[in-house]
Structure formats: C-alpha cells, structure tokens
C-alpha cells in the first residue's frame, strides 16, 4: 500500500493521491459524510504541515474556514478522531491549540473500496507495495509459443510479442484472452484486476504496436477482468 508518510521524493503525488482517495470516498457516501470529508480536505490543503505531520489550528480559525460555529467544529473533529482519520498528538491546554496528525493508515483502509472508481492506474499505484510477490517472475526454460490456429489479430500479435520478449509475454500477455473487436478497439480479458491494471498501465503501448503490426486499423486496446 502507499507510503503512510507523504514526504520526500514523490511526496506531492502521494498528497494528491490521498486527497483523491478521500474525495472518491466522500462522493460515494451520503451528504453528511460528503460534507465532513470536504471539511477535512479543506483543512488539510489550507493548514496541514506535511513535513511535520501536524495540524495545529484553533477551533475559531477552523470555524471561520468551514463557515460554521465552534460547536460544530468540536462535533466534527470528535467524529473524525473517532473514525481514526485524525489522531491527537498533543491535547490543547491553557491557550495552546491541540495538535493532530492524519490517520493515513485508516484513511487508506476506509477509502480502498472506492479506488477502482478513480481508475485502474490509480488503484494499482495505491495498492503498490515494496514486496514483489504480486508480480509474476520470468518463466524458466522454454516459453511455449501461442497457438495461432484461430488466426485472430490478437493471437497473431501474441506470436510477435512472444518472439520479441518470451519472459514478458509469459508473465503478462499469455493469460490475456480476446473478448471482442468493436471498430478499432480490441478488448482483452485479464485473470485479475491487478493483472489488467498492470498491462493497461505499463504494457498497453507494446500490445497496441503488436496488434497494429497485424492489423493497422486497430487503434485502441482495452483490458478488463
């Protein structure tokens, strides 16, 4: 899963991804959750210190930002803490405002069901880990050539892809089945959501080039599950 600390190299993209996940989650929920998440997103973009992982804003300032009274601020902040989206780092006392951190692990967990609504590339990126166990390893030994007896543009393109790079073909292209051809678009089926997203994100151009070698009228590749 995405790094829980959106700092360092690539941090800007991770911040946008986190906010995108929150927005997609909110749009799937009822109006009360939508408003609550929008308020938090606005507070994050306006006042969150990503480097220090800290939100230190007084209730009066939050009330002005949200155009509500301080009683509403207290209630909403309490609900966000209860959900685990905000974590108290230091409780306010004697004129000192409370300091919060984002509960990024909980936010990612809660929003994960809506990642696919953003797109397969987003879902793949958000699901990515440092552990390569989900990525098929290159095949050992001789990789069998595809059966081209049906003569479709896809099986002929598979033969080209096999000849070009047998290991990549075996890991990613061999399991793709042709579903339909509609105009210039060829639709392929992958065995899993991750497999489809990976091909669409990283190998789409290579697949399209191979298809166009066989049939120049192919203009688009779509990978589904």
- pLDDT of amino acid 177: 94
pLDDT digits (tens, 9 = 90+) for 23-55: 999 999 999 999 999 999 999 999 998 888 889
DSSP 5: S
Q: Which residues of 194-217 are buried (b: 16+ CB within 10 A; e: fewer)?
A: bbbbbbbbebeebbbebbbebeee
Element (H, E) at 40: helix 31-47
Nearest to 43 by CA among 28, 59, 24: 59
Give residues with Cβ within 8 angstroms of 55, minimum separation 6.
Answer: 43, 44, 47, 48, 49, 86, 99, 100, 101, 102
- pLDDT of amino acid 141: 60
Distance of CA 201 to the CA centre of its chain: 12
Residue 223: count of CB within 10 angstroms of its CB: 22
Partnered with residue 224 across adjacent β-strands are 189
Q: How far apart are the C-alpha atoms of 196 and 182, rounded to whole Å?
A: 19
Residue 190 and residue 207 in contact, taking contact as beta carbons nearer than 8 Å: no
Tell whether pTM > 0.75. no
Low-confidence ranges of the chain (pLDDT < 50): 8-10, 129-138
């Amino acid at each position: 899963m995405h790094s829980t600390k959106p700092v360092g190299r690539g941090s800007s993209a991770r911040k946008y991804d986190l906010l995108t996940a929150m927005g997609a989650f909110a749009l799937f929920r009822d109006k009360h959750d939508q408003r609550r998440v929008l308020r938090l997103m606005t507070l994050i973009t306006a006042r969150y210190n990503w480097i220090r992982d800290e939100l230190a804003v007084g209730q009066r300032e939050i009330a002005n930002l949200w155009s509500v009274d301080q009683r509403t601020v207290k209630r909403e902040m309490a609900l966000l803490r209860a959900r685990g989206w905000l974590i108290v780092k230091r409780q306010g006392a004697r004129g000192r405002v409370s300091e919060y951190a984002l509960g990024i692990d909980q936010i990612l967990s809660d929003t994960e069901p809506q990642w696919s609504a953003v797109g397969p590339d987003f879902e793949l990126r958000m699901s990515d880990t440092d552990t390569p166990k989900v990525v098929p390893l290159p095949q050992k030994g001789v990789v069998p050539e595809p059966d081209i007896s049906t003569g479709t543009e896809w099986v002929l393109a598979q033969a080209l892809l096999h000849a070009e790079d047998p290991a990549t073909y075996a890991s990613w292209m061999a399991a793709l089945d042709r579903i339909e051809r509609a105009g210039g678009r060829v639709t392929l089926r992958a065995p899993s959501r991750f497999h489809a997203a990976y091909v669409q994100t990283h190998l789409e151009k290579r697949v399209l080039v191979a298809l166009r070698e066989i049939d120049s009228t192919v203009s688009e590749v779509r990978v589904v599950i």
